Amino acid sequence: MSELVFFCGTMDCGKSTLALQIEHNRSARGLVGMIFTRNDRAGQGKLSSRLGLVTDAVEVEDGADLYAHLVDHLSQGRRADYVIADEAQFLAPEQIDQLARVVDDLDLDVYAFGITTDFRSKLFPGSQRLVELADRVEVLQVEALCWCGARATHNARTVGGVMVVEGAQVVVGDVTGSTDEIGYEVLCRRHHRRRMTAATARAAALAPDVLPVSSG
Ligand SMILES: Nc1ncnc2c1ncn2[C@@H]1O[C@H](COP(=O)(O)OP(=O)(O)O)[C@@H](O)[C@H]1O
Ligand SMILES: Cc1cn([C@H]2C[C@H](O)[C@@H](COP(=O)(O)O)O2)c(=O)[nH]c1=O
């Protein structure tokens, strides 16, 4: 029985790497995947991992019908044995419904990968729909860590290392960007709630009122 599986986690926990591994293992056995993505950092029509691997993918545009795309593809006599959808948080809820229909009506496995919550710890609409519809939700096992060493469960958006809570839901970016630009940092809930990033924690530790008082 085919399945819709949602592999989720914070940024930088290995989702795209796992997507590429699933693709590699299946294509090594002669299977052909349909790979969807949207807004990957490597550019349009790419699925990339921070480990340096990248593959071509179909860039999902606004309003694209993913079920119709598969039906067109198959009706032209082309193959698709399974589907991968990376950056699935950026898909519209209707597109997640279309992926569920691919599973049920075309009998193909669909593996979706994405972050569940945004920088304000609110569900992305696409991820919410995945949680509602998926046969299985798998949280990635390689945990990303907060600067304090605890498991990172939240994504913070930063400007100059300082956490921000205003702005558009979608801003493509990375966890290793220059500190002057919009970037991201994964945090545990405690430090996300306190808006305490690695940079602000470092600054607080160096603040004069916590430095040792000099005797001279
Ligand atoms: N230089 C490195 N050596 C080993 N592992 C790395 C290196 N750089 C990144 N990684 C691994 O890759 C993970 C990020 O993978 P990626 O698939 O890009 O994440 P995601 O898609 O979840 O944002 C990191 O959590 C880390 O485990
Ligand atoms: C938290 C958050 C993230 N994003 C963007 C930033 C990245 O481009 C992707 C996540 O990619 P990854 O492969 O999981 O690292 O999402 C965003 O647009 N809005 C947010 O709130």
Check the annotation: does 88 bind a ligand. yes
Residue 214 inside a domain? The answer is no
Residue 211 placed within a domain? no
Question: What is the domain count for the chain?
Answer: 2
**Displacement of CA 147 from its chain's centroid (Å):** 20
Cβ contact 143:98 at 8 Å = no
* Bridge partner residues of 111 (DSSP): 5, 84
pTM above 0.90, yes or no: yes
- Write down the pLDDT at residue 177: 63
Taking the CA of 52 as reference, the closest ligand is 1
Q: Which amino acid is at 3?
A: E
Clarify whether residues 2 and 87 are in a common domain. yes
Cα 52 to ligand 1 centre (Å) = 9
Where residue 206 falls among pLDDT bands split at 50, 70, 90? confident
87 is catalytic: yes
Answer with the one of 125, 142, 159 that is the final residue of a domain.
Answer: 142
Q: Flag whether 216 is in a domain.
A: no
Nearest ligand 1 atom, CA 19 = 17
- Ligand nearest the Cα atom of residue 12: 1
